[in-house]
Homo-oligomer: A and B are copies of this chain.
Amino acid sequence: MFSGAQVSLYAMSDDFVGIILGAIKSLDPWRDRLRLETDSLSTLMVGPPEVLFPAMRDLFCAAARSGVHTTMHATVSRGCPGEPDDPMCTPAAAASRELSLADRMAAGRDAVAAAPFQDQDIAAQISLYPLGVGHHMDEIYGCIEFLKNSGTFARSKNFCTALRGDAGPVFETFGKAFTGFGSDTGHLAMDVTVSANSPSDR
């Protein structure tokens, strides 16, 4: 398995460089379980899902606490046949496909309900792409049903689903969507956008 994300963090401020460089320190506790590579467009994070999503959460919250309108986009992927297997990416516990879809959705909902709050309200949207399977819409509809019952659902949109809530449960929702749907060892991509302190929400 190979899993990771290309993550871009944006701060709508003249001091965006300072805010972003300050936020990157929040990745320190995760560094021994992640491989990081930065260029001018994004930072590659390679690691297992249970590290990727909390690390992205901490990075985003650190920037959002500046009070400035902050957004983050991530292209997240697992099981791409074009990438090498990497032992670093082996999940601690994969979501079992022996459970029914209903039981997987319930387990996801329980995990989201138990996620520690981060005291940071965020808005988000998520698109899921299960690749290399013929009945991809069944998995997408299953995921949308999970999102609607996750406790973080905001509204349906074209091409994505909008979420809203504290960063803890919302990033836990991302993680459960990423591991709970599509083939458990197959190729799956996910596209997430996160926003805090938007003047449109005031």
Residues of chain A at the chain B interface (Cβ within 8 Å)? 4-6, 8, 10-14, 16-17, 39-42, 44, 46, 69, 71, 73, 75, 77, 80-83, 123-125, 127, 129-137, 140-141, 157-160, 162, 187, 189, 191, 193, 195, 198-201
Contact = CB atoms under 8 A, between A and B. Distances in A.
Contacts of A39: 157, 162, 200
Given A82-B137, A158-B4, A69 B132 contact: no
A174 to B, nearest CB: 15
A200 B137 contact: no
B157 A6 contact: yes
A137 B129 contact: no
Contacts of A162: 39, 41
A6 B40 contact: no
B195 A159 contact: no
B131 A46 contact: no
Central interface residue in A12, A124, A131, A158, by most chain B CB within 10 Å: A158
A141 B132 CA distance: 14
A139 to B, nearest CB: 10
Nearest to A6: B159
A82 to B, nearest CB: 7
